[in-house]
Each structure stands twice: as C-alpha cells, then as structure tokens.
Amino acid sequence: MLGALYMRLTGTAIDCYKYLELLYNDYRKIKNQNQNGEFELMHVVEFIDELLHSERVCDIILPWLQKCYMLEEAEQLEPCVSTLEEDMDDVQSSEEEEEEDEKLERVPSTDHRQRSY
C-alpha cells in the first residue's frame, strides 16, 4: 500500500489510473488506523478507491488528479472496463452461444425421404 500511496503522490494522472486501477481486483484485507486511533479492517480495493477519489488519505493532502473520464475523452487513457462488466459480457456471450446451439438442435432435418427396408 505504501507503493500505491507513493505512486499517487508522485505519479502523473495517467500513470496513477493505469497502475492503481489494476488493484481494483485485489480484495485482500488490510488494517487502517482511523482518526480516533482505532484500527479497522478495510479491503485494498477500498484503499485504492480512496487514493483515486479523495483529497486526503492517511492524513496526507494529495495532489490534484485529473478525472478519468476527461483523460478518456482526450484519448490519453483507454476506457476503463470493470471486471464485473467483463464477466457479464462473458456470461451473455455464453448464453447466446447456448441459445444458438439449441436452435440448431431443434431445426428438423431437410431429408424427408422415406426409407424402405
């Protein structure tokens, strides 16, 4: 997490989004000390979200970060696709393939000749 915080403090907006968004798939738990001095559990994905969207993390004021959608519009950054969207697309494509297979199985054969034995 120290490396992610360092990247956010020193990196450009493009680098921050490119490298830190990869950690959105990390659901490990980490301990975080809140403002009251108590420790609480949080996930890495929550910490990364705070790094990318908050002005202050770990009592450090972060430098201004250009919004992701503005970088995407300027074509400096590829559009972000969440893993949930990718999974949903995979499920939909597999369902469509299954439907096509079922349609092919239901189509009667065109061979209507009678067989004589």
The verdict on residue 108 lying in a domain is no
The verdict on residue 61 lying in a domain is yes
The verdict on residue 85 lying in a domain is yes
Condensed to tens digits (0 to 9), the pLDDT of residues 80-98 reads 665 556 666 777 777 777 7
- Measured CA to CA, the distance from residue 70 to residue 20 in angstroms comes to 17
* Owning domain of residue 66: 1-90
The answer to whether the predicted template modeling score (pTM) of the entire model surpasses 0.75 is: no
The verdict on residue 96 lying in a domain is no
The verdict on residue 16 lying in a domain is yes
Condensed to tens digits (0 to 9), the pLDDT of residues 2-30 reads 899 999 999 888 888 888 888 888 889 99
The verdict on residue 100 lying in a domain is no
